[in-house]
Amino acid sequence: MSKKNQFISMKQVSVKDSFFSPIQKTVVDVMIPYQEKALHDEIPGVRKSHVIENMKIAAGESEGEYYGRIFQDSDLAKWIEAVAYSLILKPDPELESRTDEIIDLIGRAQRPDGYLNSYFIAAAPERRWQNLSDCHELYCAGHMTEAAVAYYEATGKDTFLKICCRLCDHIDNRFGPGKITGIPGHEEIELALMRLYRVTGEERYLKLASYFVDERGKDPDFFLKEEENRGWSRTNYVSKLSPAYMQNHKPLREQDKVEGHAVRCMYLLTAAADLAAETDDEILLAACRRLWDNMVEKRMYITAGIGSTARGEAFTEDYDLPNDTAYAETCAAVGVCFFARQMLEAEPCSRYADVMERALYNGTISGMQLDGTKFFYINQLEANPEMSAEVYGDEEYTPERIGWYDCACCPPNLARLMTSLGTYVWSSGEDTIYSHLFIGGEVFFDMGGGVRILLESRYPWEGGAVYTVDPDAPGAEFTLAVRYPGWCSGMKVSVNGEEVPDSALGKDGYWKISRCWESGDQVACHMDMPVRRVYANPLVRADAGCVAFMRGPVVYAFEGIDNGEALQTFRIPREGEAQILPYDPELLGGIVALKIPALQKEIPESLYLGQPCPEKPVTLTAIPYYAWSNRGLTHMRVWMEEA
Amino acid sequence: MSKKNQFISMKQVSVKDSFFSPIQKTVVDVMIPYQEKALHDEIPGVRKSHVIENMKIAAGESEGEYYGRIFQDSDLAKWIEAVAYSLILKPDPELESRTDEIIDLIGRAQRPDGYLNSYFIAAAPERRWQNLSDCHELYCAGHMTEAAVAYYEATGKDTFLKICCRLCDHIDNRFGPGKITGIPGHEEIELALMRLYRVTGEERYLKLASYFVDERGKDPDFFLKEEENRGWSRTNYVSKLSPAYMQNHKPLREQDKVEGHAVRCMYLLTAAADLAAETDDEILLAACRRLWDNMVEKRMYITAGIGSTARGEAFTEDYDLPNDTAYAETCAAVGVCFFARQMLEAEPCSRYADVMERALYNGTISGMQLDGTKFFYINQLEANPEMSAEVYGDEEYTPERIGWYDCACCPPNLARLMTSLGTYVWSSGEDTIYSHLFIGGEVFFDMGGGVRILLESRYPWEGGAVYTVDPDAPGAEFTLAVRYPGWCSGMKVSVNGEEVPDSALGKDGYWKISRCWESGDQVACHMDMPVRRVYANPLVRADAGCVAFMRGPVVYAFEGIDNGEALQTFRIPREGEAQILPYDPELLGGIVALKIPALQKEIPESLYLGQPCPEKPVTLTAIPYYAWSNRGLTHMRVWMEEA
């Protein structure tokens, strides 16, 4: 382990959080079993997955034909990864045994040379490795490898890990310096190889990850040439897309804007930041930092959603953040968390954690229905149900979550994020324990001697948190670094009742509490948590004249079901005081709602008028954004006109 | 002639207008010759038309293959129609002789049975009349017929008229009660048959027009069944589109919203309003009125553009009027003028003329470059050049006019509208002469005896107009009805210096000046013409918090080239006074520009902020909307945020 600071592993932490524990429970008890059934095509009325069946066909154990997207192995892999984490959260021998069977099936599908991809094995064995741009073999291999690492770490069983080592060895034998030149059309293998490197200690996986990261962008026409050379096309996708769509327009080290397909970009940057920290590569880290800044300060929704457009699920231009046509794919927000976590390992700095937190409380979990059985792929910030087909060019689209997708990448991505949530909360360096998020739970560190910390909070509904430290040996010396959240303008920290001076707040945005810790030492934080008005940079056309509301890390939304469907007819006076309602455990799984004074315009007959319409005072209700669309089809807005 | 009120013919009027005469001159001297060259594929660097060549192929006089859209005969027809009008404006024996040759060519291409369509004759003779939904045979026949009527009226030559009588007889022999059931996918034949009926006096053309109007909507699945029956598809267009796209979802008499493809809808309603007035059909007229109201009060841009979306060039939902993705096809605004003119014949009422005027000074002529050689198909109300490919899903699209289109319907449509403009200005009933527009010129009426009227104005830059009446015999008795424009809040009218009392203003919005007219009698109008702030109905999401500026009928726009490209960073204080600049003959072909005090927001580093950004006072320049994009690629907005 050459990194100076690393996030904790699953087994070091247990999440006991009033906000996230119920979500984790839903994921473990409902979502993972639901997705298992979906992968087996056992949910009536929900579109077919065929994923398990595809693997059986690849293993020669079923006669059917491959069905579905070419990259569906990744759905299965992400689900297995989520299962691995869930087995730590809640052991389930039956689930584990069924998963072992699936892993065995995967093993039987694998070719003797290590190759593994159900589509090509089942449907086009002669076309292996010819279409890296859009056939996603390396992408699927990456997800398989991530799952294998997680399953090994959770269960100690190495069957899957060995499968994926053979697979990655196969890849390593094929691609790299002095071998065949190749990069994936959809990044993912890079970050997976980093994980495989850590669990196996095999340097060749690190080198291969590094090769894939650095080879990218050397030849912007790589995918075009690949297409010309092979003489067949699965889709006419590539030739239409610019190299930037796959982050291949120039070497990553020279890039200064996040471009193209947002998920691809996040997976690449996750691997790059990991590599940079692992190898002390300052130039690569500087590129990651530059791209982070561009993403966060020019191309990110207030919900931490990224990728403004459905066309290519991609970034567009700086400050182009339309609300009704927002794409903000769930997977992309999940990717933001991955990237943020790697940046935090590379250089602990609260601005990374701020964004990760914003993603976790908003743009990721908006992707799941509260009951865990339906999912958003797209996370709009303004919904006008009657216009959805129009704005997305898809007659099928309505702003209601659905049970499965033809391209079902998001649901299992959310499952693995939520089950592994504990590993995003804490990291530790040589002598510092970083508390990045106020997610309650118990954590264990080895700081020379063992240290346990209990974090209790009612976050995000209340702005307090209490850390109780329990070292194995009294007088353990280390620094506890507690984040000062960017959203907060008044935070106090005390140790055993004694206020920590402002001088303890580092430039990195963390309170540094260094002492010899005794059992029972308590660090208490108080964060002022008023309702905040947020304004977008004036260059954001879509939000001109508008205001959004946040409280703590939570972005609020206005739904038609609470306020009447014509949300565009309201204006919120600048001086109006928002009322914070008491926590309501019965509403939307338990939320704090807001009441906000507003003006509603009268609706005249005419389309165009010589003066603004008269207004009457009303009171609006706002609910947390993530919880919207859980009460039927309705209009929704995050940004409201301000008076 | 059974209509009580009818617009004048081309030969009764000459336009001598400080605003439109230069445009007419550009159309006659530049645009029509330019389009002739385009139709002959003689303009280097401009995309191929192949229209004349297609007709030669159909006539067996060329060996090539049909090229281009299936409905390109209509481009040629609209151009011939424009030529016809231009020959009245400015005789040109050489142009007339070349046009005669083209007409002879069309005659040689026509089949012995009267059938005429270059695509099917040249490329698919066995497929005639099998695909009414999207093969546009009836649409092309309609345009040919309109052109033939116009050419006959202009030149007295009946070759083309006879061709089109044979064509329409062929159609009449095929379709109708007791014959084959059929309706056009794209309306146009209906209104053309009405014109043919008037010029020939043949009732069967009226009946056939009536059949096509009334048959539509009887079977919403007509086009789907047609597709199933024929067993071939030119495109997979129809089955994807709802019947409403072709106004076939229910009978027109039962429709209450303008739906579907906007141009189709306008052409249908033009014919329907004509029929309703011709046959005193109150139910049909009521439907036209209802659909007019829905269009004008729920689905029309301030520029009189219609059809909000590029998807199907169509209407969407009430109050859905996005500015950056506005489609507002030039042809659709032209169609608004057609429809308005028919409504004015059916029931003279200033609200129809108000909209026609708004279209003529804004959403139609915005379709042409000031020099007459480039054209807009789409008329956005907000242009962000860097985003155009994104919002239209078309990499080729930029907000600059281009020289020709693959689908080149708009350029010749503008040409025929502008050359026939005089016929939109005046109408007459039994004893009333209506002055609908303040477009200067001379007009002749037969009101028992001959009456000449000279209208002089500096409209739209000045709010005055003077009518000088000159009857052949002194003491001619009739009413001169002068429109009180809807945009005006202070209009005075005098006759020979004596003010006309308010009681002379009818509920229809026209001043009725009834007297025995002597030669030299003068009616002078004064209209207050301040800069007006216009607000959209609060249900229009895209314009919330925004204001637009008009003066007289002219809509103003803000261009980046005058104001800096970040137009979203400005707010215009409600109480600011706009300054009207003197008419500048050198600027954009001669315009009155505005100076408007505004505030500009400072641009911070951050994407999201805790308070609105500071603002500094600035002065913005606004130019007439129609003249935008004549000084290079730039940003543009009509609707600006109001402070």
Q: How many CB atoms lie within 10 A of CB A294?
A: 18
pLDDT band at residue B405 under the 50/70/90 scheme: confident
Q: Nearest CA to B182 among B134, B234, B226, B117?
A: B226
Token pair, residue B420, equals 């026939």
Contacts (Cβ under 8 Å, ≥6 apart) of A558: A567, A570, A620, A621, A622, A636, A637, A638, A640
The pLDDT assigned to B21 comes to: 98
Distance between CA atoms of residues A295 and A286, nearest Å: 14
Of B545, B607, B609, the CB nearest to A296: B607
**What's the confidence (pLDDT) of residue A52?**
96
Task: Report the residue of A396, A541, A600, A636 to disrupt the B interface, i.e. the one with the largest count of B CBs within 10 Å.
Answer: A541
Closest chain A residue to the Cα of B549, Cα to Cα: A610
Considering only CB atoms, which chain B residues are within 8 Å of A296? 607
- B532 contact residues in A (CB cutoff 8 A): 610
CA terminus-to-terminus distance, chain A? 55
Could you tell me what percent of chain B has a pLDDT over 90?
91
Please give the pLDDT value at position B418.
Answer: 98
Note whether B535 contacts A610, CB cutoff 8 Å: yes
Q: Residue for token digits 């009101």? A: B447
Give CA angle at A439 (A438, A443), nearest 5°. 105
Q: What is the mean predicted confidence (pLDDT) over B316-327?
A: 96
Closest CA to B223 of B331, B133, B94, B344: B133
Please name the member of A390, A537, A607 whose beta carbon is closest to the beta carbon of B536. Answer: A607
In this prediction, residue B459 carries a pLDDT of 97
Q: Could you give the count of Cα atoms lying within 13 Å of B486 in the half-sphere of its Cβ?
A: 18
Q: Do A608 and B536 touch (CB under 8 A)?
A: yes
Nearest chain B CA: its distance from A475 CA (Å): 42
Rounded to whole angstroms, how far apart are CA atoms B364 and A570?
34
CB atoms A610 and B386 under 8 Å? no
Peptide bond into A412 cis (omega under 30): no
Alpha carbon of B233: minimum distance to chain A alpha carbons (Å): 22
Q: How far apart are CA A492 and CA A501, in angstroms?
A: 9
Angle between helices B262-278 and B203-215 (to 10 degrees): 130
Joined together, the tokens standing for residue A64 give 């059917």
Burial of A472 (0-12, 13-18, 19+ CB in 10 A): middle
Can you spell out the DSSP letters for A481-529? EEE--TT-S-EEEEETTEEPPGGGB-TTSEEEEEEEE-TTEEEEEEE--
Q: Do A610 and B537 touch (CB under 8 A)?
A: no
Query: Which pLDDT score is estimated for A390?
Result: 83
Mutation for A interface: B607, B616, B618, B636, most A CBs within 10 A:
B607
Q: How far is A249 from chain B (nearest CA, A)?
A: 18
Which residue in chain A has the smallest CA separation from B543? A568
Q: Provide the token pair at A100.
A: 């072992």
Of A537, A602, A608, the CB nearest to B607: A537
Alpha carbon distance B533, A556 (integer Å): 34
Lowest mean pLDDT among A496-510, B55-69, B227-241, B573-587: B227-241
pLDDT above 70: residue B235 = no
Q: Say if the Cβ atoms of B390 and A300 lie within 8 Å.
A: no
Task: Record the tokens describing residue B234, joined without a space.
Answer: 């030119």
The three state secondary structure string of B402-460 is ECCCCCCCHHHHHHHHHHCHHHHCEEECCCEEEECCCCCEEEEEEECEEEEEEEEECCC
Handedness of CA A304, A310, A311, A317 (dihedral sign): negative
Structure tokens at B433: 């002469």
CB contact under 8 A, A641 and B384: no
Q: Which of A388, A384, A607, A387 is nearest to B294 (CA)?
A: A607
Token couple for A527: 């964060």
pLDDT of residue B57: 97
Task: Work out how many CB contacts closer than 8 A connect A with B.
Answer: 130
Question: Bridge-partner residues for A532, per DSSP?
Answer: A550
Cβ contact (<8 Å) for A300 and B607? yes
Q: How many Å lie between the alpha carbon of B324 and the closest alpha carbon of chain A?
A: 10
Phi, psi of B366 (to 5 degrees): -60, -20
Least CB-CB distance to B302: which of A317, A540, A608? A608
Three-state secondary-structure class, residue A450: strand
CB contact under 8 A, B535 and A608: yes
* A625 vs A305: CA distance, rounded Å: 12
| DSSP class per residue in B29-91 | IIIHHHHHHHHTT-STTS----HHHHHHHHTTS--S---S-TTTHHHHHHHHHHHHHHHHHS-
Please return the burial class of B475, using the count of CB atoms within 10 Å of its CB with bins 0-12, 13-18 and 19+: exposed
d(CA A580, CA A595): 7
Residue B612: which of A297, A535, A571 has the nearest Cβ?
Answer: A535
pTM over 0.80: yes
B contacts of A385 (beta carbons < 8 Å): none
State residue B41's pLDDT score: 94
CA atoms within 13 A on the CB side of A327: 25
Contact B393 A390 (CB under 8 A): no
> Known catalytic residues of A?
313, 409
Predicted confidence (pLDDT) per residue in B411-448, tens digit: 999 999 999 999 999 999 889 999 999 999 999 999 88
Rounded to whole angstroms, how far apart are CA atoms B354 and B348?
A: 11
Please check the confidence at residue B237 and state whether its pLDDT lies above 70.
no
Residue among B444, B404, B420 nearest B337 (CA): B420
Question: Across chain A, how many H-helices and E-strands are there?
Answer: 19, 23
CA distance B354 to chain A (A): 13
Min Cα separation B305/chain A (Å): 13
A424 contacts: CB under 8 Å, gap ≥ 6: A7, A337, A341, A356, A360, A436, A437, A439
From B595's Cα to the closest Cα of chain A, the distance in A is 19
Check residue B581 and report its DSSP letter. P
Maximum distance among all Cα pairs of chain A, rounded to whole angstroms: 77
- Kindly determine whether residue A534 and residue B317, on different chains, have CB atoms separated by under 8 Å: no
E strand or H helix at B521: strand B521-527
- Cα nearest neighbour of A319 on chain B: B607
CA nearest to B602 within chain A? A538
Q: What is the pLDDT of residue A269?
A: 98
Which of A296, A316, A568 lies at the smallest CB-CB distance from B541? A568
Cα(A628)–Cα(A636) distance, integer angstroms: 8
Cis ω for the linkage preceding B460 (within 30 of 0): yes
**Which of A316, A390, A544 faces B387 most closely, judged by CB atoms?**
A316
CA distance A218 to A208: 16
Residue of B nearest to A299 (CA): B607
What was the pLDDT predicted at A124? 93
Is the CB of B296 less than 8 angstroms away from the CB of A532? Answer: no
> Three-state DSSP class for A19?
coil
B327 CA: distance to closest CA in chain A (Å): 13
Q: Distance between CA atoms of A308 and A528, rounded to whole angstroms?
A: 32
Tell me the catalytic residues of B: 313, 409
Best mutation target among B362, B541, B572 (most A Cβ atoms within 10 Å) is B541
At B96-109, the pLDDT tens digits run 999 999 999 999 99
**Is A390 in Cβ contact with B309 (below 8 Å)?**
yes
Give the distance from CA B411 to its chain's centroid.
11
Taking the alpha carbons of A508, A510, A513, A518 in that order, is the dihedral positive or negative? negative
Closest chain B CA to residue A571? B545
Interface contact A536-B609, CB threshold 8 A: yes
CA nearest to B387 within chain A: A317
For B311, which of A393, A537, A612 is closest by C-beta distance? A393
Which residues contact residue B447 at a Cβ distance below 8 angstroms, ignoring those fewer than 6 apart?
B428, B431, B433, B471, B476, B478
Among candidates A203, A298, A223, A209, which has minimal Cα distance to A259?
A298
pLDDT digits (tens, 9 = 90+) for B585-597: 999 999 999 999 9
pLDDT of B431: 93
CA distance from start to end of chain B: 55
Domain B426-527 listed as CATH 2.60.40.1180 = yes
Long-range contacts of B290-297 (CB under 8 A, 24+ apart): B290/B255, B290/B256, B291/B255, B291/B256, B291/B257, B291/B258, B291/B265, B292/B339, B292/B343, B292/B352, B294/B256, B294/B257, B294/B258, B294/B318, B295/B258, B295/B336, B296/A607, B296/B351, B296/B355, B297/A605, B297/A606, B297/A607
Note the maximum CA span of chain B.
77
Angstrom distance (rounded) from CA B485 to CA B509: 8
Mean pLDDT (chain B, rounded):
95
The complex's ipTM works out to: 0.95
Spatial contact of B427 and B342, defined as CB atoms under 8 Å apart: no
Helix, strand or coil, per DSSP, at residue A642: strand
Instruction: Please list the ranges in chain A whose pLDDT falls under 50.
Output: 236
Across the interface, do A603 and B535 touch by the CB < 8 Å criterion?
Answer: no
CB spacing of A568 vs B601 below 8 angstroms = no
Q: Which residues of A touch B488 (CB under 8 A)?
A: none
User: Which among A533, A544, A607 is the nearest to B296, CB-wise?
Assistant: A607
Return the SS3 of B213.
helix
Yes or no, beta carbons of A538 and B568 under 8 Å apart = yes
- Smallest CA–CA distance, residue A355 to chain B, in Å, is 12
Are A603 and B537 inside 8 Å of each other by CB?
yes
Nearest-by-CA chain A residue for B322: A391
Domain ranges of chain B: 49-250, 252-423, 426-527, 531-642
